[in-house]
A = this chain, B = another copy of it.
Amino acid sequence: MDSTTIIGLVAAFLTTGAYVPQAVKTWRTRRTGDLSLSMFTMVFLGTVSWLVYGILKDDLPIILANTITLGTSFIILYFKLREVMEQRRAG
């Protein structure tokens, strides 16, 4: 494997893995006040789009990376949406 490919794999590992500690933190604390709803909505919809793109291009690395991010970004977005709805209900 050449060094460019290794750098690409490190990059993919970092930007995919990044959502894991945020999902764990959000799951544990249930606190999402400082998270941007727009950010995590865009990340989730973007990940769905990347997944469709990967399937259409039959590109395994894109499919794998975005399947992981689909799960982690869903967890974060779920808790963010729950907080937003609770705040609306509270007036």
Chain B residues within an 8 Å CB radius of A15? 42-43, 46-47, 50
Contact status B49-A7, CB under 8 Å:
yes
Cross-chain contact B39 with A18 (CB below 8 angstroms)? yes
Question: Taking the full assembly, how many copies of this chain does it contain?
Answer: 2
Decide if B35 touches A34 in the complex (CB within 8 Å).
yes
CB<8 Å pairs between A and B, sample of 13: A4-B56, A4-B57, A7-B49, A10-B49, A11-B49, A14-B46, A17-B42, A19-B39, A21-B42, A22-B38, A24-B36, A26-B36, A34-B34
Kindly report which residue of chain B lies nearest to residue A2, judged by CB atoms: B56
**A2–B33 CA distance with the chains assembled, in angstroms:** 40
Complex interface: chain B residues within 8 A of A14 (CB): 42-43, 45-46, 49
